[in-house]
């Protein structure tokens, strides 16, 4: 029963959600909304599991002074600090246990939680995101090294798109007569992005869509059950 109950539940829920896609009549819409609500409730409870896992793992590493335990201490302190500030003085319009921290607000310009969010969390997040620019450069360098016909084609296409999307492209081929309009760099770049690129992406999306149908069907019918832990 322990192993078959989730399969029966997955089958019933899967069929209902599938039918609701085609049957707009009551009660299908309501059932799907209720199921979505259940997911949110279960997620809410699961957050607690996540926090427990986080605290347990970090505490274990700090207590046993495992490698790089200092990072885990910093992580736990940050977690505890934000939690405490949020609980005590709230965030934005929401007051905390001790109210709105009017005195601190006068000093910091905003609530302590919001202050740390804007001045510590957001810059850190933006810093990590900005690393993407450097990673793109190094990955592109490797991709464009000519090893064969495919990488050659890739490099030529990339150069056309890069030049076509910058003002240099307009400048380089701006003198071309109207009859050679297509060979103007920005137009070539648009053509590559609009046709070959879109066609390839759609092919991937269509095949992924079919994969999703097959995968979902296997899950609904209980053929695929390794996501529950066991195969049979």
Partner 1 sequence: MRKTLLSLLFLILIGLLMANTFSAKDSPWDNGKSIDLVWEISPMAIKVEICRQDADEPKRVLLTCSDPSGSFRDNELEPNNEYHYQLKAYFQDDDLTLSASAQTRAQWFYMGKLGFLLLLLLVCGAILYYIQAARHGKEFFIRRIAGLDSMEEAIGRATEKGKPILYVPGISDLDDIQTIASLTILSHLAERAAEYDTEIIVPCRFSMVLSAAKEVVREAYLKAGRLDAYKPDNVFYLTDDQFGFVAGIDGIMLRRKPAANFFMGSFYAESLILAETGFATGAIQTAGTAQAHQLPFFVVTCDYTLIGEELFAASAYLSKDPQQLGSLKGHDFGKLVIILLIILGVILEILETSNLKEFIAGAIS
User: Which positions lie near partner 1, rule CB under 8 A?
Assistant: 21-26, 29, 39, 42-43, 46-51, 53-54, 56-57, 60, 67-68, 71, 124-125, 128-129, 131-132, 135-136, 138-140, 142-143, 201, 204-208, 210-219, 223-224, 226-231
Nearest approach in angstroms of CB 3 to partner 1 is 10
Which residue from 92, 104, 53, 93 is spatially nearest to 75, judged by alpha carbons? 53
Choose between 52 and 84: whose C-beta lies nearer to partner 1: 52
Distance CA(206)–CA(90), nearest Å, equals 46
Q: How many other CB atoms are there within 10 angstroms of residue 140's CB atom?
A: 13
Q: How far is the CB of 202 from partner 1 (least distance, A)?
A: 8
Residue 99 is classified by DSSP as B
Closer residue to partner 1 (CB): 100 or 224: 224
Residues 6+ apart with CB under 8 A from 158: 140, 143, 144
Whole-Å CA distances, 219 to 6, 18, 32, 72: 11, 13, 18, 38
Q: How far is the CB of 181 from partner 1 (least distance, A)?
A: 24
**Among 144, 168, 145, which residue's Cα sits nearest to residue 157?**
144
Smallest gap from residue 63 Cβ to partner 1 (A): 13
Among residues 45 and 182, whose Cβ is nearest to partner 1? 45
* Residue 153 or 210 with smaller CB distance to partner 1: 210
């Amino acid at each position: 029963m322990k192993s078959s109950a989730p399969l029966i539940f997955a089958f019933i829920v899967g069929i209902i959600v599938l039918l609701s896609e085609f049957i707009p009549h009551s009660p299908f819409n309501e059932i799907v909304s209720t199921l979505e609500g259940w997911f949110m409730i279960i997620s809410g409870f699961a957050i607690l599991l996540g926090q427990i896992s986080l605290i347990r793992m970090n505490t274990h590493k700090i207590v046993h002074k495992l490698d790089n335990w200092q990072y885990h201490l910093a992580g736990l302190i940050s977690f505890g600090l934000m939690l405490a500030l949020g609980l005590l003085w709230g965030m934005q319009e929401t007051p905390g246990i001790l109210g709105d921290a009017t005195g601190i607000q006068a000093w910091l310009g905003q609530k302590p939680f919001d202050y740390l969010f804007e001045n510590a969390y957001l810059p850190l997040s933006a810093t990590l995101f900005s690393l993407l620019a450097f990673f793109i450069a190094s990955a592109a360098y490797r991709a464009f090294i000519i090893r064969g016909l495919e990488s050659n084609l890739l490099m030529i296409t990339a150069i056309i798109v890069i030049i076509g999307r910058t003002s240099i492209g307009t400048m380089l081929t701006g003198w071309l007569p109207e009859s050679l309009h297509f060979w103007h760099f920005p137009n070539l770049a648009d053509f590559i992005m609009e046709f070959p690129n879109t066609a390839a992406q759609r092919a991937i999306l269509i095949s992924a869509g079919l994969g999703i149908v097959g995968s979902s069907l296997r899950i609904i019918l209980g053929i695929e059950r390794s996501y529950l832990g066991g195969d049979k």
